[in-house]
Amino acid sequence: MKEQLKRLKQEFQTALEQAGDSKTLEELKVAYLGKKGRLSGLMAELKSIPPQDKAAAGKGINDLKQSLQAGLEAKTKAFAQAEQARALDAEWIDVTLNPADRGLGAFHPVSLIQRRLEGLFTAMGFQILDGPHIETEHYNFEALNIPAHHPARDMQDTFYFTDGHLLRTQTSTIQIRGMEYLKPPLRIIASGKVFRCERADASHDSCFHQIEGMMVDEDISVAHLIYFMKTMLTEIFEKEVKVRLRPGYFPFVEPGFELEISCLICDGKGCSVCKRVGWLELLGCGMVHPSVLRSGGIDPQRYSGFAFGVGLDRLAMMKYAISDIRELHNGGLGFMRDFTLPADLAFRR
Ligand code: PHE
């Protein structure tokens, strides 16, 4: 019996030393100390031992049992400690430190352009106005010289509510609101989201941003319009840009123009961006139509004015060479990080 106990102890020691995880420990426990384990086997053998040896053998088995239990416990504890150390190591945080590089917040490229233009125009005596996204047909169309059923409505299809309201298709609505609110002479700019029933692609989205400008005074002419447009574009692109006006149809201006700039990529020589013509269509503008002035309660005999509307997204895309408008709208932080910060710095003076 003694021999048996000794061998069992040795076997157990070797197995215990080799055990690499707590699952193996569990298996050892079952194999040695379990109901049908090796020790129970020895206990059963006690029966066949001569009475005078029984007490010593029983004690031997008990001692062995205790020593096995102690060995298992020690190793189980060691495993738990190692596991805890590993976890502490991996999940370690220094609560006295500032959060690791959360990054400085920065303005979205569209906001950068908007703020820069607001700064420029307010410096030139313009007032910043705002208007609602949800509009009436009156402000979005009728007062802007686009009566119901006029084909020009098709140029700007939008989303209608069942009660006759709609999502504004252009910031030109604020021309009317501005004229109602201010008496001439007036200089206003207004920017914000506009909506159109548009299939999204690289240069279209159903929601985008515009900035609108309007100046009404006595003797305002196309020369004023050109001056302010050139000033605006030089501010944005930070260099002298060549512009040209081509006739363009917008029911609320007469004459109306499409303003084009000489391509900034090829300097007007012709490249794939400007489709080899050297010029890029950038914005709509013109002299405010007399009936629009009248809608705003202003006498067209005495006053004249110019107005323009330009896509802020379009300007941001040109300034930062962004080829897909959806990048500006999908909230992807990776894309924003690529250039928002340098752009922000570039805009700080
Ligand atoms: N509202 C026009 C558009 O969205 C742009 C525009 C504004 C044209 C003002 C002329 C004058 O296309």
**CA-256 nearest atom, ligand 1:** 10
257 SS3 class: strand
Shared domain for 183 and 297, answered yes or no, is yes
Q: For residue 268, is it within any domain?
A: yes
339 shares its domain with 297: yes
Domain shared by 317 and 264, yes or no: yes
Q: How far is the CA of 91 from the centre of ligand 1 (A)?
A: 57
Share of the chain above pLDDT 70, in %: 94
Instruction: Please give the structure tokens belonging to residue 164.
Output: 């006759």
100 lies in some domain: no
Note whether 175 and 252 are within 8 A (CB).
yes
Q: Whose CA is nearest to atom 9 of ligand 1?
A: 308
Is the domain of 134 the same as that of 230? Answer: yes
**Which pairing describes strands 166-167 and 134-135: parallel, antiparallel, or unpaired?**
antiparallel
Q: Is residue 98 part of a domain?
A: no
Say if residue 37 is in the same domain as residue 116: no
Nearest to 202 by CA among 114, 331, 343, 322: 322
Average pLDDT over every residue of 85-94 = 86
Among 140, 155, 170, 224, say which to mutate for ligand 1: greatest number of ligand atoms within 8 Å of CB.
170
Q: Which of 60, 90, 120 is the last residue before a domain boundary?
A: 90
Report the distance separating Cα 126 and Cα 187, nearest Å. Answer: 5
Q: Is 345 strand, coil or helix?
A: helix
Domain that holds residue 277: 109-347
Clarify whether residues 73 and 176 are in a common domain: no
Residue 99 domain-assigned? Answer: no
Residue with the smallest CA separation from ligand 1 atom 7 is 309
The string of pLDDT tens digits covering residues 280-322 is: 889 999 999 999 999 999 999 999 999 999 999 989 988 888 8
> What distance in angstroms lies between residue 210's CA and the mean position of ligand 1's atoms?
9
| Residue 308 CB–ligand 1 contact under 6 Å | yes
81 and 126 part of one domain: no
pLDDT over 90 percentage in the chain: 50
Task: Verify that 64 and 192 share a domain, yes or no.
Answer: no
Cβ–ligand 1 distance for 250 under 6 Å, the answer yes
Does residue 337 sit in the same domain as residue 225? yes
Q: Are residue 64 and residue 208 in the same domain, yes or no? A: no
Single residue among 27, 60, 90 that ends a domain in this structure: 90
Beta partners for residue 186, in sequence order = 216
Closest residue by CA, ligand 1 atom 12: 284
Measured in angstroms, how far is the CA atom of residue 309 from the centroid of ligand 1? 4
Cα 23 to middle of ligand 1, angstroms: 74
Pocket test for ligand 1, best of 156, 172, 176, 207 (most atoms within 8 A of CB): 172
Residue 96 inside a domain? The answer is no
CB atoms within 10 A of CB 233: 23
Closest CA to 191 of 286, 127, 101: 127
Strand order in the sheet with 243-247: 127-129, 186-195, 207-217, 304-311, 279-288, 253-262, 243-247
> 279 CB contacts (<8 Å, ≥6 apart)?
244, 260, 261, 262, 263, 268
Q: Is the CB of 309 under 6 A from ligand 1?
A: yes
Distance of CA 278 from the midpoint of ligand 1 (Å): 23
Does pLDDT of 348 surpass 60? no
- Please report whether residue 291 resides in a domain: yes
Residue 212 has pLDDT above 50, yes or no: yes
Average pLDDT value over all residues in the chain? 89
Question: Which tokens go with 169?
Answer: 């298709």
Q: What residue owns the CA closest to ligand 1's atom 4?
A: 170
Angle between helices 2-18 and 38-45 (to 10 degrees): 180
Q: Is 317 helix (H, G, I), strand (E, B) or coil?
A: helix
Q: What is the pLDDT of residue 20?
A: 85
Residue 65 lies in a domain: yes
Note the pLDDT tens digit of each residue in 120-163.
Answer: 999 999 999 999 999 999 999 999 999 998 888 888 889 999 99
Specify whether 127 is located in the same domain as 193.
yes
Torsion sign (Cα): 261, 266, 272, 273:
negative
CA of 253 to the centre of ligand 1 (A): 9
The CATH number of the domain holding residue 225 is: 3.30.930.10
Residue 216 lies in a domain: yes
Helix (H) or strand (E) segment spanning residue 79: helix 51-90
Confidence at 5, pLDDT banded by 50, 70, 90:
confident
Expressed in angstroms and rounded, the spacing between residue 269 Cα and the centre of ligand 1 is: 28
If asked whether residues 143 and 264 sit together in one domain, one would say yes
Q: Assess whether the C-beta atom of 307 lies below 6 angstroms from ligand 1.
A: yes
The structural domain count of the chain equals 2
